Every structure is written in structure tokens, then in C-alpha cells.
């Protein structure tokens, strides 16, 4: 016994020690581990970066803008191929079209990559509950390995108006797939025949939101959030909306948000000067709809089409809002990564063309918004160049997951931490063209640097053979109206960009 402590004081001191021990905090090792962030993953079909978050305040998109205010808007995000299945396959596998071997709408990425671990599959393998609904992969494609439970899509009518429904009952005719006819008896042709002929390109139905498919998907997402919020593991919820994909249909209240007299038409209704004739095609996808002429679209019809497109964005935006509202109501927002992406860009009359299916800026520049817990800067835009193959590694990085070795992109988490910093030197996209008129089948490989778009068209069967080159100076010609590649004054620049292009994506990372 310590000589300074008398026996009479021992009991009180022991009691005090016991109380102090009971009141002390638990050792650090016993603390509960931090819960990994949830992921709410919105995929949107044919959404070009033209809405409020991108400065286009004439497009009513309060809920997309709400994601932007809580996170980062990417001004220079690019897809790897501007058509549905290739771009979605690329984003979900984190690999590029020449790796997935998906350059069309008929090929599943598992044919070339049977063992690849997809984005959702990677999260599932690391303890996440992963569920998908709506359009995530293209059309009827799915990938069961991606999900913890079967993917599902509630279907809704395409049209609300009886006269438009009647149009779809006409005899089935061959329909274009992008800018080429669907091969007879191909998988794609059979799918189109099963769908039947198409009605008009736009509609404003006097119906509630959940009459059409996107409203039904939003309702399913809301109910699913309630279920997954009760699970012990974090969740990855993928929600795919089909609007503003053709046909541009929406409930009438969204059509009524717009004054047709204020809708501006494309300023460059002509093809790029000195570009190869196959670089941009008219947009056969649109021509498959009732009442659309085979040649140039007259101004009054173009204005109606843009009206329908904007209304469809506002309709989709409202569905996003319903899901975000439920996320907030459940108290999940502070620990949830929210990412929204449009699968590729879209032409609305630029270059006297519509739809996608090219390497031009209108088609490859995409909408990408991301908010995440703990961001130091929110409500900001970044000009750092990113690609869709970067989404997979970024989400994994933000969630603290290891990065698979097969990825062909890189995490842009450092760009989220400092949106003003320099980032990638270039983004890479591609688009094929079939053989035509004695010309062999081609693949156009595009490189977008900070200032230039540089596209090299090579033979599909002879990659070393160059058929044409395109060069556009975005500092002087942001609409890509004049191809400079053939001008002698730009020969040195072409050589410089060709060397960079040959270095490819592996050499284009941050310096």
C-alpha cells in the first residue's frame, strides 16, 4: 500500500476509480467501422449537356441542377462511342469499344469478355447490395452477374393519344438502325418487327407521370430505396431513364413549360466544310418516325422536335427529383454518392443532322454530374477532360474499393478534390462506318484535346490505311464547321496531333 493513502480512504478511492472507468469512452479498437457510402447511379438515354447545370437555363431541370449544386458538373466529359450499347458496355466494364468488341446494337460484351467484372459486380463482390432497374444496359440486354437480385423494368405505353397508338398498328416495315438498314432476319430486325412500326416523334399526353415508363421506374426506385435503406450492407442502386430518347413523349404539363416562339434552332444547319461525306449522316433513327421527311427537316418541324426534346428532359428531371426526395426523406443523402450520366450526346439540327452516330462534339460530349460525401467544393464546374471509362474506377475509389486490373480508365477523384486542376490531355472516341460504294468499312478514331478535335478514319480490315483526317479548332470554331486537316498551313499541327493520337489513351493521362 502506498504510504500516502490511508486505509480509511481506500474504499472511496476505489469506488471513484470504478466510476471513472465506467464513464470512460470505449477503446478505439471497439468503435464501429464507418459505413461505406451508398451509390445512387442514374443513367439517362440521349441526354446532351444542355440544361440548367450547363448554363442552358431555358431548359427546366431543377433536379438535375440540384445534383450539380451538391457536387461537380463536368464540362468536358466524353463517351467512347456515341450510340447506346457500345457506350453503356464501355462505362459498365470500364473498357473501350475495341476491348468490349461492342460497336453495334446486337453484340453483348460477354461474348468478347466472358469473365470481366462489371461496375455493379465489383461493388457486389465487396459487400454491396446491387440492384438495377430501367435502362442500364441497352435494350433487351442484361447482365445477371452485375446484380444482387434480378434487374427489372416496369413497362409503360409508348403513346397516350389514341391516334398515335393507332399509327403503331400499321404494317411492319423495315426500319433504319442509325444510318443503315437493319439486316434482314438479324437479331435487330426481329426486335424491331416485334415492336411494330413507330408513331410520331413527339407527344404531350394528358396523363400522369407514371403512365409512361420513366414514371413507373421512378415509383419503383422510390419503393426500392425504402427497402434497401433497411439492409445492413451499403447499396448500389442503378436507375435508368429512357427519356429524352425518341419518341419525345411526356405528360402535357412538361410540354406546357415551354414557349415554342422562344425555342432557338441550330445555328449551323450545314455539314462541316471539307469533311468526308460519311463523317456526319442525316440521322436515320429520326426518319423512322411518322411524318418525318427523308431529307432536311423544315424549321417549324425542327422547333416542334426541340420542344418535345426539352419537355422530355423536364419529365425525366421530375422523376429524378422523386428519387432524390425519397433519398432525403430517408436521411441517406449525406452518405450517398449520386452520379448522373447521359449515355452520349445528341444533335438537334446541328450540321443539318439529328440523333447521334458520329464522332463530332455534339455526339461525344456528354452530361456528367457527381456529388459525394465530403466534397470540399460543391456547385462547381470543371473543365478537366474525363471519359466514361473513368466512371468505374472513380466510384470504386470514392467507396474505398480496390481497382481491378482490367480497367482502361482512371479515377478522377483528384479532380473532384480540386476541380480547377489540370487533368487528362485527351479523350478518345470512335465510330464505325460500313463499306459503301466501293469504299471499305472504316473506323473513325477521334481524339479530343483541350483545344482540338482530331479524327483519323482507318480501314476496319486495314488499320494502317488512312482514308481521311478531320481537324477542328475549338478555340476558333467550337461548332466544328470547318475541317482544317487538308490546309497546308496546318500540316505541322496535323503531324503533331497524329503523333499524340498514335500514343493513344495510355499516353494521355495527367502530366
Return the active site residues. Answer: 84, 138
**Alpha-carbon radius of gyration of the chain:** 26
Q: Is 287 in a helix, a strand, or coil?
A: helix
Following CA atoms 501, 505, 506, 510 in sequence, which dihedral angle do they give, to the nearest 10 degrees? 100
Rounded CA gap, 347 and 398, in Å? Answer: 33
Alpha-carbon distance of 332 to 226, in angstroms, equals: 10
Q: Which three cell numbers stand for residue 407?
A: 480497367
DSSP string, 296-363: PPPHHHHHHHHHHHHHHHHHHHHHHHHHHHHHHHTT-GGGEEEEEEESS--EESGGG-EE--SSSHHH
Map grid coordinates 490546309 to a residue: 487
Query: What angle, 0 to 180 degrees and rounded to 10, lies between the N-to-C axes of helices 213-228 and 299-329?
Result: 20
Helix runs in 76-180, H state only: 84-93, 97-100, 119-125, 162-167
φ, ψ (nearest 5 deg) of residue 179: -125, 25
Q: What angle do CA 161, 165, 167 make, to 5 degrees?
A: 120
How far is Cα 356 from Cα 84, in angstroms, rounded to an integer? 9
> Residue 398: enclosing H or E segment and its boundaries?
helix 391-398
Residues 6+ away with beta carbon under 8 Å from 454: 446, 447, 448, 469, 470, 471, 494, 497, 498, 500, 501
Q: How many CB atoms are located within 10 Å of the residue 258 CB?
A: 18
Describe the chain by its helix, strand, coil percentages, rounded to 5.
35, 20, 45
Grid coordinates in use for 404?
481491378
Strands ordered across the beta sheet of 426-433:
426-433, 442-449, 452-459, 466-473
Distance, in Å, from the CA atom of 324 to the CA atom of 218, rounded to the nearest integer, reads 10
Unique residue bearing C-alpha cell 456526319 = 280
Task: Collapse the DSSP code of 59 into the 3-class scheme (helix H, G, I; strand E, B; otherwise coil) and give the result.
Answer: coil
For 198, which DSSP code? -
Strands 368-371 and 336-342: antiparallel
Amino acid at each position: 500500500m502506498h504510504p500516502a493513502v490511508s486505509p480509511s480512504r481506500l474504499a472511496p478511492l476505489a469506488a471513484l476509480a470504478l466510476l471513472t472507468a465506467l464513464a470512460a469512452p470505449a477503446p478505439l479498437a471497439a468503435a464501429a467501422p464507418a459505413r461505406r457510402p451508398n451509390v445512387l447511379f442514374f443513367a439517362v438515354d440521349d441526354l446532351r449537356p444542355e440544361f440548367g447545370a450547363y448554363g442552358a437555363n431555358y431548359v427546366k431541370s431543377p433536379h438535375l441542377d440540384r445534383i450539380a449544386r451538391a457536387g461537380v458538373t463536368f464540362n468536358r466529359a466524353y463517351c467512347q462511342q456515341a450510340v447506346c450499347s457500345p457506350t453503356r458496355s464501355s462505362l459498365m466494364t470500364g473498357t473501350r469499344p475495341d476491348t468490349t468488341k461492342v460497336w453495334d446494337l446486337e453484340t453483348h460484351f460477354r461474348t468478347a469478355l466472358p469473365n470481366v467484372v462489371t461496375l455493379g459486380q465489383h461493388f457486389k463482390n465487396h459487400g454491396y447490395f446491387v440492384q438495377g432497374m430501367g435502362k442500364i444496359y441497352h435494350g433487351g440486354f442484361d447482365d445477371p452477374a452485375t446484380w444482387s437480385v434480378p434487374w427489372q423494368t416496369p413497362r409503360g405505353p409508348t403513346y397516350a393519344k389514341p391516334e398515335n397508338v393507332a399509327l403503331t398498328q400499321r404494317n411492319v416495315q423495315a426500319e433504319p438502325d442509325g444510318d443503315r438498314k437493319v439486316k434482314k432476319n438479324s437479331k435487330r430486325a426481329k426486335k424491331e418487327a416485334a415492336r411494330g412500326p413507330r408513331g410520331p416523334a413527339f407527344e404531350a399526353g394528358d396523363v400522369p407521370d407514371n403512365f409512361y415508363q420513366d414514371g413507373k421506374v421512378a415509383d419503383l426506385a422510390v419503393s426500392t430505396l425504402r427497402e434497401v435503406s433497411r439492409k445492413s450492407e451499403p447499396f448500389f442502386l442503378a436507375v435508368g431513364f429512357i427519356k429524352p430518347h425518341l419518341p419525345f413523349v411526356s405528360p402535357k404539363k412538361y410540354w406546357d413549360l415551354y414557349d415554342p416562339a422562344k425555342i432557338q434552332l441550330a445555328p449551323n444547319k450545314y455539314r462541316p466544310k471539307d469533311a468526308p461525306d460519311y463523317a456526319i449522316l442525316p440521322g436515320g433513327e429520326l426518319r423512322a418516325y411518322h411524318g418525318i421527311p427523308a431529307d432536311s427537316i423544315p424549321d417549324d418541324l425542327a422547333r416542334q422536335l426541340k420542344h418535345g426534346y426539352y419537355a422530355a428532359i423536364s419529365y425525366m428531371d421530375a422523376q429524378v427529383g422523386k428519387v432524390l426526395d425519397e433519398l432525403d426523406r430517408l436521411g441517406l443523402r449525406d452518405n450517398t454518392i449520386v452520379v448522373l450520366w447521359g449515355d452520349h450526346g445528341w444533335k438537334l439540327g446541328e450540321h443539318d443532322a439529328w440523333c447521334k452516330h458520329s464522332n463530332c462534339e455534339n455526339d461525344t460530349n456528354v452530361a456528367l454530374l457527381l456529388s459525394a460525401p465530403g466534397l470540399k467544393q460543391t456547385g462547381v464546374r470543371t473543365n478537366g477532360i474525363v471519359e466514361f471509362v473513368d466512371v468505374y474506377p472513380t466510384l470504386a475509389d470514392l467507396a474505398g474499393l480496390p481497382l481491378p486490373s482490367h480497367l482502361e480508365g482512371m479515377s478522377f477523384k483528384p479532380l473532384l478534390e480540386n476541380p480547377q486542376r489540370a487533368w487528362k490531355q485527351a479523350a478518345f472516341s470512335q465510330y464505325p462506318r460500313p463499306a459503301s460504294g466501293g469504299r471499305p468499312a472504316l473506323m473513325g478514331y477521334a481524339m479530343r484535346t483541350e483545344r482540338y478535335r482530331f479524327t483519323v478514319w482507318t480501314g476496319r480490315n486495314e488499320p494502317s490505311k488512312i482514308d481521311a483526317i478531320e481537324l477542328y479548332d475549338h478555340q476558333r470554331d467550337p461548332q466544328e464547321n470547318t475541317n482544317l486537316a487538308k490546309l497546308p498551313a496546318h500540316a505541322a499541327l496535323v503531324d503533331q496531333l497524329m503523333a499524340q493520337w498514335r500514343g493513344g489513351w495510355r499516353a494521355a493521362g495527367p502530366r
